[in-house]
């Protein structure tokens, strides 16, 4: 089955990793890739100016064409010229426009840059990726600028919910054939209030992860190593990722509704903000109602 992939980039150096990943996924011959770049609506720099709608639209079109040229030039520089014709520019709020484009395309995966670790990098890169994960109903793969191949060593955070199952199903599309997968679950330290209960719970957790590992191998031929750790789920995943030197952390997003998905502090949000590698966030399959009832972003303009 063909996987439809939307690579959302903005032409900045931070998006090179997303372009490289789109190139590798396109080269498999199993995927249909579209490259999207979003131009935010043009503002008026002089309050005294009141350009006509035609002049305003003309300026936006020129900027959109310029941005498309920048992205196409980066693709050529990366040796990914085959994707040049797949570049599309849309005008509107970045995160919302990306999600709507993915919905219209019927995308199964969104790929985008993750940015750096500084405050401005988080604002410019990670926060847009975080907003997309909160709105999207398909997996979002956020990758750093410096990536050299599709991920091979992967850490998956499991919680034995449908989100964990969806995360495992989404993995094969973004991994190398020789992938090394680690499945992990963090037990809260509060469980140690009773050592007997803790031991029983740890045993059940390990058995459940081993069962998930067996299903992963049977379904996709991917063998997995099982880890049961104690501590805060997000920090435990980040610490284990550093220890294992993984190239990708995968986790499910737990928001059941639109507003609950906007709440800060979830495991997936903290992992995305703190990771030093690529992150795959797998959200609920259902689209938030706030997106279902709108056909396109307010004020959005597609530029073919």
Distance CA 114, CA 116 (A): 7
Distance of CA 12 to CAs 38, 42, 80, 150, Å? Answer: 12, 18, 16, 21
Report the Cα–Cα distance between both ends of the chain, in Å, rounded.
Answer: 27
Encode 36-53 in three state secondary structure.
EEEECCCCCCCCCCCCCH
> What is the three-class DSSP state of 117?
coil
> What is the three-class DSSP state of 111?
strand
> For residue 163, what are its two tokens?
């989100």
- pLDDT at position 116 is 53
Is-above-0.85 flag for pTM?
A: no
- pLDDT at position 294 is 45
- pLDDT at position 98 is 94
Q: Kindly state the DSSP code that residue 225 receives in the 8-state scheme.
A: E
Find how far residue 22's CA is from the centre of its chain: 13
In a 13 Å sphere around the CA of 266, the CA atoms on its Cβ side amount to 21
- pLDDT at position 66 is 87
Helix (H) or strand (E) holding 35: strand 31-39
Helix (H) or strand (E) holding 278: strand 278-282
- pLDDT at position 272 is 87
- pLDDT at position 102 is 93
How many other C-beta atoms are found inside a 10 Å radius of the C-beta of residue 188? 14
> For residue 90, what are its two tokens?
């849309």
Backbone angles phi, psi at 39, to 5 degrees: -105, 120
- 127-164 pLDDT, tens digit per residue, is 788 888 888 889 999 999 888 899 999 999 887 665 56
Helix (H) or strand (E) holding 301: strand 301-303
- pLDDT at position 264 is 38
- 190-202 pLDDT, tens digit per residue, is 655 555 555 666 7
Closest CA to 301 of 140, 22, 61: 61
The list of the chain residues with pLDDT below 70 reads 1, 41-57, 115-126, 160-164, 189-201, 254-265, 284-304
């Amino acid at each position: 089955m063909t996987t439809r992939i939307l690579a959302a980039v903005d032409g900045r150096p931070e998006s090179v990793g997303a372009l490289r990943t789109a190139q590798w996924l396109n080269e498999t011959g199993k995927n249909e890739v579209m490259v999207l770049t979003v131009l935010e609506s043009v503002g008026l720099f002089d309050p005294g100016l009141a350009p006509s709608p035609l002049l305003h639209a003309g300026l936006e079109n020129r900027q959109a064409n310029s941005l498309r040229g920048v992205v196409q030039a980066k693709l050529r520089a990366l040796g990914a010229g085959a994707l040049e014709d797949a570049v599309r520019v849309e005008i509107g709020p970045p995160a919302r426009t990306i999600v709507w484009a993915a919905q219209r395309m019927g995308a199964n995966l969104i790929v985008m840059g993750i940015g750096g670790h500084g405050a401005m990098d988080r604002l410019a890169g990670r926060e847009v990726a975080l907003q997309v994960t909160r709105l999207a109903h398909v997996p979002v793969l956020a990758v750093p600028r410096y990536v050299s191949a599709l991920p091979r060593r992967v850490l998956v955070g499991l919680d034995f919910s449908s989100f964990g199952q969806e995360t495992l199903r989404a993995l094969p599309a973004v991994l190398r054939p020789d992938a090394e997968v680690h499945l992990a679950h963090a037990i809260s330290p509060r469980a140690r209030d009773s050592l007997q209960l803790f031991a029983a719970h740890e045993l059940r957790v390990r058995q459940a992860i081993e069962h998930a590992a067996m299903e992963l191998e049977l379904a996709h031929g991917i063998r997995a190593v099982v880890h049961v750790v104690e501590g805060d789920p997000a920090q435990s995943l980040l610490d284990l990722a550093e220890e294992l030197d993984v190239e990708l952390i995968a986790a499910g997003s737990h928001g059941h509704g639109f507003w609950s998905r906007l709440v800060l502090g979830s495991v997936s949000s903290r992992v995305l903000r703190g990771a030093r590698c690529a992150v795959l966030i797998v959200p609920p399959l259902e689209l938030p109602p706030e997106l279902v009832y709108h056909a396109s972003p307010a004020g959005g303009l597609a530029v073919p």
